[in-house]
Amino acid sequence: MNLLKSLTLVAGLGLNSLAQAQTPVNISGTVAGINTGKVYLQRFHNKMFYTVEAVPVKDGKFQIQRKLQLPEVYGITVDTTRGNQFLFLDATDTKVTISLDSAARYRNTKVTGSKGQELLASFRQGQEGKIEDFIKKNPTSIVPTYILYREYSYRLTPEEIEKNVALLDASLQKTPYVKTLKELVTTLRSVQVGEKAKDFQANTPEGKPLRLSSLYGKSYILVDFWAAWCGPCRHENPNLVKTYGKYKGQGFTILGVSLDHTKEAWLKAIAKDQLTWHQVSDLKYWNSEPAQLYGVRAIPSNVLLDAEGRIVARNLRGEELGAKLEDLYSKSAANK
């Protein structure tokens, strides 16, 4: 993400916050092993963090006092390039104390004064059951809202997402998480099996535009959403290489759609994993326009299309993809 775009997004988040109700919050804490420097408070948006406050560290201590939109998900970090300690703040979490352990990737960080943080820990320990039960027990908390948005939306049907959203309190219905989930329901319904694929265009590694529909007319097409930084994607790539090698002679092709944010990493991964099929990317990370068209909330993710561009399957991985293609090509051969 370039500096101008980053600043624009931060400014946009700031304006959005000003338009909503603000609550005075006091966040004080210590940073293990650091006497001077800065602590950054960041707001979470679309799986990314944007800085809203930077305060100095003096003698290993810091304090942030400002009005914040609550309930909301924030992050605390001493280095915006390395990651964050997630901070879940519900409406009553106005005085929070943090012992920040940056040396251990924040694993040993302790947060007190946040009911949301305690609730998250309880869910992680398996004490709160399924997401539906978790929401019913805590309908006014940002925590189940976030978990539904971040960890469940990609594995639930549109109907299941809609049902869980309805369980959330009215105070959460205007949060960006619920807004995204409601939009996702509409998007997912439009890209189910049997629907016509949504067409899009993006640039190849050579900088040339390639449109999905230009690949129609020959055989089955797998639209594969992945990224160089995605471990599960890289683990899945050898399976795709094997499947592509087996069926490309029958016209099967793949269009890789990368959610990378740097061209260098994207090209390096293509070469290392020996991905010899079509590749495109707008290098917009989670703001990838093709990914948004298909409601992609986690990767790897894919959509299998027939020669006319109609969706015949979604999210086939490993042997599932090979088995599906074997069945499809066997039926095609039998009908000839």
Q: Are 239 and 227 in contact (CB under 8 A)?
A: no
- With a CB cutoff of 8 Å and minimum separation 6, the contacts of 277 are 244, 253, 254, 255, 256
Token pair of 103 as six digits: 């040396």
Instruction: Give the chain's radius of gyration (CA, Å).
Output: 23
Map out the domains of the chain with their CATH numbers. 20-113 (2.60.40), 128-189 (no CATH), 201-334 (3.40.30.10)
Please tell me the predicted confidence (pLDDT) of residue 34: 86
Mean pLDDT, rounded, of the chain: 89
pLDDT tens readout for residues 72-90? 999 999 999 888 899 999 8
Model confidence, pTM: 0.78
Neighbours of 251 (CB within 10 A): 14
Between CA 109 and CA 102 the distance in angstroms is: 8
- Residue 292, phi then psi, degrees to nearest 5: -65, -35
Please tell me the predicted confidence (pLDDT) of residue 305: 98
Question: Which amino acid is present at 267?
Answer: L
Closest CA to 61 of 103, 94, 96, 98: 98
Q: Are 162 and 185 in contact (CB under 8 A)?
A: yes
Longest dimension (CA), the chain: 78
Please tell me the predicted confidence (pLDDT) of residue 333: 75
Please tell me the predicted confidence (pLDDT) of residue 82: 83
Token pair of 304 as six digits: 């299998």
Between CA 89 and CA 73 the distance in angstroms is: 6
Between CA 86 and CA 192 the distance in angstroms is: 33
Please tell me the predicted confidence (pLDDT) of residue 125: 82
pLDDT tens readout for residues 139-157? 999 999 999 998 898 889 9
Establish whether the linkage from the previous residue to 158 is cis, with ω within 30° of 0.
no
Please tell me the predicted confidence (pLDDT) of residue 128: 59
| Regions of the chain with pLDDT less than 70 | 1-21, 127-129, 336
